[in-house]
Amino acid sequence: MKRRNLVIVASFLLLLVLFASANASQWSEVIVQADNVETAAAAVYAYGGRVDETLGIINSVSAEMPRGALASLREDSRIVAVYVDHTMDAAGRGSGSRGPKDLSVDFPEVIGADQALANGITGEGITVAVVDSGISRHFNWSRDRVLTRYDALDGPARPHEDPNGHGTFIAGIIGNDDNDGEGYMGVAPGVQFVDVRVLDAEGKGSYADVVEGLDWVLANRDAYNIRVVNLSLVGAIGGPYWADPVNQAVEELWEAGVVVVAAAGNAGPDPLSIAAPGNDPFVISVGAFTDNYTPADESDDFVPPFSSAGPTETGFIKPDLIAPGAHIVSVMDPSSFWAKNHRESRIQGSYYEAAGTSTATAITSGAVALLLQAQPDLTPDRVKYTVMASAHPAVYEDNALTWSIFQQGAGRLWIPGAIWGDHMGEANGDMVPGEKYVGPVVYRDGNFVIVEQQGNDVPESDDYLWNGGYLWNGGYLWNGGYLWNGGYLWNGGYLWNGSSEWQLWEEGAEWQSGYSWLGDGTSW
């Protein structure tokens, strides 16, 4: 009898599991956009959905919708768009380094941050929002300089500020004030932080959580003097940048005066591998280079294969610049998920070594904080112009570019040139956040070609090109002298369709097949 009862109970539990699984499969997690959040929420309820969070930054709500109601919801005249709530990942990697395992940190010197620090420029008075997996209180600098915390993840209160480890590692690169005997181990040891947690213990998060975190930053930017947002995370490309909720959110922050620094991605070296939101034309998108353990010698530097390359899906040249992104040393709690799964990357105590465009992004965010302390009145467009115009492109002895503009953008980050150089332009031309733009790059006859508005190849002259590369200091596109804002077969632009051709994507048409950012299998 007891055995029969156990069988009955087990069968009942199995049926409950199967029912729950089947029921879950009937629901979709989406982001619903309308003219305002109230209208978006009303439409969700009208079709039997459940609202999770309001996302005022993009006039949307995150919701669970019955799959059978999605078509009707999309056709509702009140709705602007319905987006699948995709996953985002931390843009970091295990080091895989064969170099020496010691606590020597050279990336502040490689970008010239030591020169700023020697002149009393430490990032003091600037707050950086680290939108990531959290910042642990395990360290003196993080206990003292994290102003506040916001958790966008649903569930019980977190017993551990950063169960993954990535966010703490990133914050340490930006502002660790430990000293390795030769200088600070962070780029801007005077900055303050706000901790915006959007990634879980495995370093993953949803688009809705990331947008929620950015929404909080927008609402609280003045209260905490948030001047920089660090986004060392990546998402797949499923359409043009303007049809991505996270891209829409970062443009709102940009327009509100907050500099957004985003990872290019770790899906290189192939072209068209820039991830979201680094594919957005407004933000500062950062690729990686390595000094090859010779920080004083640039001749053996190279772009590691993992660093994503442009152009973007809408023809913009990315990344905007590159920063050190290999054998980067920073801190994390040894009990965190990443630390326990990458024991080979541990150097000593709480110090680990890692690589990726996430680390290059953090270095750039720290550099931007230094620049903003030195020149606090700079707008995001002027900050972007300044760091690009002062970057050092890698060139051969004959001044030909060593690496493609789609790999290095304007070149290596160099903060002394940004702080003390004479750079009066503005990036992004006359472009307006929230509008749709196409870049000047098309795919034709097996090559990526820079064209002017009528579709003709841009002549290889000093007026437009610099020794076969991009005239970053001249007058094309990003600095306001030339804006490719319409014209050449433009209803949507020449976009990659996932195979070997570019095709015209017409305004209002369904995205054809797109291409997915798949990573390289080693991302966190």
- Radius of gyration, alpha carbons of the chain: 23
Rounded distance between C-alpha atoms, residue 360 and residue 343, angstroms: 22
Rounded distance between C-alpha atoms, residue 124 and residue 356, angstroms: 27
Catalytic residue among 52, 85, 132, 178: 132
Catalytic residue among 133, 330, 345, 358: 358
Run of H or E including 351: strand 351-355
**3-state secondary structure (DSSP) of residue 86:** coil
Helix-strand-coil split of the chain, %, nearest 5: 30, 25, 50
Q: Among this protein's residues, is 358 annotated catalytic?
A: yes
- Return the number of other C-beta atoms located less than 10 Å from residue 305's C-beta: 11
Q: Which strands sit side by side in the sheet containing 321-324, from one edge to the other?
A: 146-151, 192-197, 127-132, 226-231, 259-263, 284-289, 321-324
Q: Among this protein's residues, is 445 annotated catalytic?
A: no
Question: 468-487: string of b/e by CB count within 10 Å (b at 16+)?
Answer: ebbbbbeebbbbbebbbbee
Catalytic residue among 52, 85, 106, 166: 166
Tell me how far the alpha carbon of residue 193 is from its chain's centroid. Answer: 18
Burial class of residue 196 (count of CB atoms within 10 Å of its CB; 0-12, 13-18, 19+): buried
Q: Number of H helices and number of E strands within the chain?
A: 14, 24
Rounded distance between C-alpha atoms, residue 504 and residue 502, angstroms: 7
Q: Among this protein's residues, is 300 annotated catalytic?
A: no
Helices 166-175, 357-374: crossing angle, 10 deg rounding: 40
| Closest to 346 in 3D by CA, of 102, 108, 92, 164 | 102
Catalytic positions: 132, 166, 358
